[in-house]
Structure formats: C-alpha cells, structure tokens
Structure 1
C-alpha cells in the first residue's frame, strides 16, 4: 500500500486511497507534506529531485516532500521521509497547510492539500540517490531572486509555498 496516497476533501478528511501515479494522472486532491530545513546561518537546505523521478525530475525543491502512508500522520511522515531522503533527523514544527493545483510535466497534475513543516539542523545530508540528485544551502534572499529570474529551475510547490514559509519564520 505504500504506492497509495490518501485522498482527502478540502477539510483534510480522508475519503479514500488511490495509487500515486493514477492520482497525479487524474489530478485528484490528496494529502501531502513539505519540509523546510534551515541551518544556523539561516540558509535553506534545497534538494534537487533525482533524474528518473516520474515528474519534476532534476528540479530544485524544498528539503523534502512526499505523501503520508495510509494510517500515518503528516507529522510522522515528514520525520520519516526527511530521514529517508536526506539522512537528517531534526525536530519539525507544523507551520500551515494550503491547497494547490498545478500542471506538471508528463501530463501530470499536482492537486494537494500540503502540510508545511520546518526545522533547524546543521547536519550535512546523506542523500538517498533514488530520490535526490544533489543538495545545496541557499540564502533566503538569493532564493527569492532566483525564483523570480529562473522559475523553471524549481518545483511548482516550492514556487507556491516558499513566500509563505519565509514570511512566517522569523530567522
């Protein structure tokens, strides 16, 4: 069942399960999360999605993002995937959630109720190369500028939620 995602309504009530690829082909609203890790220099840890991912391959994104497993809370899933993708264990704080709908490459659609978490860590990533192609730390002002100048380098969900994260976290 780990290839299934949790379908939700706009109030985040579970209404079913569906295979991940089918959900993205049909653009059905489902539960997801995004994690933002900052270091003590107030830089954001970005990951570059691995080549071969079924969508958004090679694009830069927030530290970690995924979908909770059926029966798993978003907070549990965020901690689990941060470790699985980036090799980092850090306390995470819930920030906010939002719904978005964006067309992706390969004819897929991302329609998510995204739960956003943030944390602090100076640990260097030990990346899972199946998920992550590369990583870098970036100053918030530099990322803001590059998102405007080169939006095609970044995932849709990062472009949508980054300003909300930056505005809510006092670094």
Structure 2
C-alpha cells in the first residue's frame, strides 16, 4: 500500500514545525504549507482547471491552473513545476507572487487551513490534462474570471475566491 502523502506543518511565519498525513491535516484543520499556480498567456487569459469529480474536497469546481502541497525539503518552485506536470502535462518558469493564510471549511467536514504561496507563470499552448486530477480546463480573460466569481461563486473553489478577492492586483506577469 502506498504511504499517504504528508503535508508540511508550519507556524504563522511559514516555519516548518512538523509533518502530518494530508487527510489528517484536513480533518484537524492544522496549518500547513501549500501553493497555488496561476498560468497566464499573452492575451492576459488565465488557464483554469475544473477539479476531477472524484476529488475528496471541492470536486468538479473551477480553480486556478493547479495547486497542491510542497513535499518535505521541496522548494515552492519545484513543487509548483512538479504539480503542473502531474496535473496539466507541462512545465513553465514560475515566480513567487504573494503568500497568505486562509481557513476554509468544506461540506464534508474537512477544512483547508493553509499558508498558501501564489506562483505565477506564462504559457501559450494547450495543456495535456491528467484525468485523475482534472475534469476540464479553459482559458478565461482575467477580468472575466473576476466578474464570474462574483456572479457564480458556487462553481469556484474557496481558495481561488479568496485569492481573487484579496490578491487580484498581484495576479499579473
């Protein structure tokens, strides 16, 4: 049996204080390190993904290009590139943008409590999505995304709405 992936537990200064299995961290709402990748093309469109319908939280919701958790000893950039390849089938250069802490409870009793690093990249081609991770994808103008979140908040992930609400001005190349 494959060992469950562990997340990096951090304090409010993003200093590592331990490791915990991912599901347990979400059950106990423990603060852990995460990242959210935003890939933008030269038309100022954001590549969105629809989370696979079998994910244990936020299934079928639209969100940023990809997101996940860093592994022990892995840099934010390496983690972002790893998940871009695993979920979307490509890699591109990333830059650190902004970081923030959020807490979002889900209907299934789990809670995301993350110190999230927002990473920005540029890409012009279509992804080759991994159906185990991603149900669908699309390019959408950033202004349109902002407006659609206001009109249809129920179709977007909690962290994506928080990032757009608080850090919209940072989501640029």
Query: For this structure pair, what is the TM-score category when the shorter chain's length is used for normalisation?
Result: over 0.9
1:9 counterpart residue number:
11
Q: 1:14 to 1:158 in 2, by over 3 A?
A: same
Aligned with residue 106 of structure 2, among 83, 93, 104: 104
Matches of 1:71 and 1:3, distance apart in 2: 14
Residue 155 of structure 2 aligns with which residue? 153
Q: Tell whether 2:56 aligns with 1:34.
A: no
In the TM superposition, what whole-angstrom CA distance separates every residue of 1:72-130 from its partner, at most 9, and x where no partner exists?
11111001111111012111010010000111131110000000000110021000111
Task: Please name the residue that 1:20 is paired with.
Answer: 22
Secondary structure of residue in 2 paired with 1:107: coil
Displacement, 1:168? 2.1
List runs of 5+ in structure 2 lacking aligned partners: none
Supply the RMSD in Å over aligned alpha carbons. Answer: 1.3
Q: Deviations over 1:14-69 (max 9, x none)?
A: 11111100100110000000000001111000000001101000000000000011
Aligned pair count reads 171
Task: Give me the whole-angstrom Cα distance separating, in 2, the residues matched to 1:154 and 1:35.
Answer: 15
* Deviation larger for 67-76 or 24-33: 67-76
Q: Do the aligned partners of residues 108 and 154 (structure 1) sit closer, same or farther apart at CA in structure 2, a change above 3 Å counting?
A: same
In the alignment, is residue 83 of structure 1 matched against residue 88 of structure 2?
no
Structure 1 residue 2 displacement after superposition: 5.8
